[in-house]
Amino acid sequence: MREARALTDDRQDSDGQNRYAADLPRTFGASLRGPSMYRLANYDIPARFSAPRTAGRAVVIFAFGLGCALLMIGTRSIVDIWLPGAGPFALVYPAVMLSALYGRWESAMVTFAVCFLWAWWWILPETRSFTFETQADASRVAVNAACGLITILFAEIFRVAVQRASEERDLEIERRIQLMAELGHRTKNNFALVASLLHTQRRRETDRTLQLAFDTAIGRVQSFAHAYEMLSDDAEFGTRVAMDRYIQRLLDTVAPALFAGKVAVDLAIEPIEFGREKAVAVGLVCNEALTNAAKYAFVGRQAGEVSISLTGDERSWVFEVADNGVGMAKEKLEGLGSRLLDAFSAQADARLKVDSSDRGTRVVLKSR
Answer whether residue 9 is part of any domain.
no
Count of structural domains within the chain? 2
Answer whether residue 42 is part of any domain.
yes
CA distance 218 to 55: 66
Residues 158 and 36 in one domain: yes
Residue 55, pLDDT above cutoff 60: yes
Residues 257 and 362 in one domain: yes
Answer whether residue 280 is part of any domain.
yes
Strand 304-312 relative to strand 317-323: parallel, antiparallel, unpaired?
antiparallel
- Mark which of 149, 171, 193 sits at the end of a domain: 171
Answer whether residue 18 is part of any domain.
no
Residue 126, pLDDT above cutoff 80: no
Which pTM does this prediction carry?
A: 0.52
Half-sphere CA count of 233, side-chain side, radius 13 A? 11
Give the residue-averaged pLDDT of 221-238. Answer: 64
pLDDT band at 179 (very low <50, low <70, confident <90, very high): confident
Answer whether residue 184 is part of any domain.
no
CA distance 248 to 244: 6
Answer whether residue 261 is part of any domain.
yes
- Mark which of 117, 141, 171 sits at the end of a domain: 171
pLDDT band at 235 (very low <50, low <70, confident <90, very high): very low
Contacts 24+ apart (CB under 8 A), 146-153: 147/93, 148/89, 148/92, 148/93, 148/96, 148/112, 148/116, 149/112, 151/93, 151/96, 151/97, 151/100, 152/96, 152/97, 152/100, 152/105, 152/108, 152/109, 152/112, 153/105
Residues 163 and 264 in one domain: no
CA distance 339 to 353: 12
Residues 42 and 127 in one domain: yes
Answer whether residue 212 is part of any domain.
no
pLDDT band at 19 (very low <50, low <70, confident <90, very high): very low
- Mark which of 117, 138, 171 sits at the end of a domain: 171
Q: pLDDT tens, 277-308?
A: 888 889 888 888 888 888 888 877 778 899 99
Instruction: Give the per-residue pLDDT at 90.
Output: 82
Instruction: Give the per-residue pLDDT at 153.
Output: 93
User: Residue 127: CB partners within 8 Å, gap ≥ 6?
Assistant: 85, 121
Q: pLDDT tens, 331-366?
A: 666 665 677 888 889 988 999 998 888 888 999 999
Residues 151 and 279 in one domain: no
- The better pLDDT of the pair 89, 349 is held by 349
**Cβ count near 314 (within 10 Å):** 13
Residues 133 and 257 in one domain: no
Residues 253 and 337 in one domain: yes
Residues in the chain: 368
Give residue 121's domain range: 27-171
Answer whether residue 128 is part of any domain.
yes
**What's the CATH code of the domain at 315?**
3.30.565.10
Give the residue-averaged pLDDT of 222-241. Answer: 65
Residues 254 and 338 in one domain: yes
Give the residue-averaged pLDDT of 198-215. Answer: 82
Residue 16, pLDDT above cutoff 50: no
Residues 246 and 165 in one domain: no
Residues 159 and 64 in one domain: yes
Amino acid 106 reads E
Quick one: CA torsion of 73, 78, 81, 83, rounded to 10 degrees? Answer: -70
Half-sphere CA count of 193, side-chain side, radius 13 A? 6
**Adjacent-strand bridge partners of 45:** none
Residues 246 and 344 in one domain: yes
pLDDT band at 127 (very low <50, low <70, confident <90, very high): low
Residue 6, pLDDT above cutoff 50: no
Instruction: Give the per-residue pLDDT at 297.
Output: 84
Residues 141 and 245 in one domain: no
Residue 234, pLDDT above cutoff 80: no
Contact (CB, 8 A) for 218 and 226: no
Neighbour-count burial of 152, counting CB atoms closer than 10 A to its CB (0-12 exposed, 13-18 middle, 19+ buried): buried
Give the residue-averaged pLDDT of 49-75. Answer: 85
Nearest to 362 by CA among 266, 293, 311: 293
